Amino acid sequence: MTGLEEYSGFEVIRAAMEVEKQGHRFYSTMSAKAKSPLAKEIFTWLAQDEVGHLKTLEDLAPKYEDGAFWENEEVFLPYLRRFSASEIFPSPARLEEVLKRDNSDLEALDLAIEAEERFAEYFHKAAAQARTEDGKEAFSWLAAEEDRHAQVLKERKAKISGK
């Protein structure tokens, strides 16, 4: 996470907006291809929740804009692009492979839990390293949201699998 501590709250919010867009695409795909009604419901809810997060982030952005608008663009843009890759969310090919299997709903839930836990860990570390209060606040909020998603997914997986 070299350099993340340097990002302003606005840059954190901007990056998170990209994450939410990727999450929406990921969960929408999973919802469309889920086999069980419960899995479809879970993934639809997650896709909608990502849209809600995006709206929240859009509303938060002005709070952090003052004096922090793309100060490190040459460094920050590659950071944003990382979220388009399969670093956190599984690649489309991996997702397609899982969704073709007999137990695809449970495996898709595992992929989702893995992604949410990766994001939570990433944002918790970033919050701990942030040098500004607005950056720390933004990263902490994001970490809490990802933790919440992971917990909901684990509960739903237990319900689907009967464990």
pLDDT digits (tens, 9 = 90+) for 12-66: 777 778 778 888 988 898 888 887 787 788 889 889 988 988 898 888 778 777 6
116 vs 107: CA distance, rounded Å: 14
Structure tokens at 9: 């709250």
Contact in structure between 70 and 11 (CB atoms under 8 Å): yes
User: What domain count does the chain have?
Assistant: 1
Structural domain harbouring 78: 4-161
Full-model pTM: 0.74
Structure tokens at 148: 């919440």
Tell me the DSSP string of 13-35: HHHHHHHHHHHHHHHHHHHHH-S
List the one residue out of 104, 103, 93 whose CA is nearest residue 33.
Answer: 104
CATH code, domain carrying 105: 1.20.1260.10
Q: What is the per-residue pLDDT across 75-100, written as a single tens digit (0 to 9) for each?
A: 555 655 555 444 667 777 777 787 77
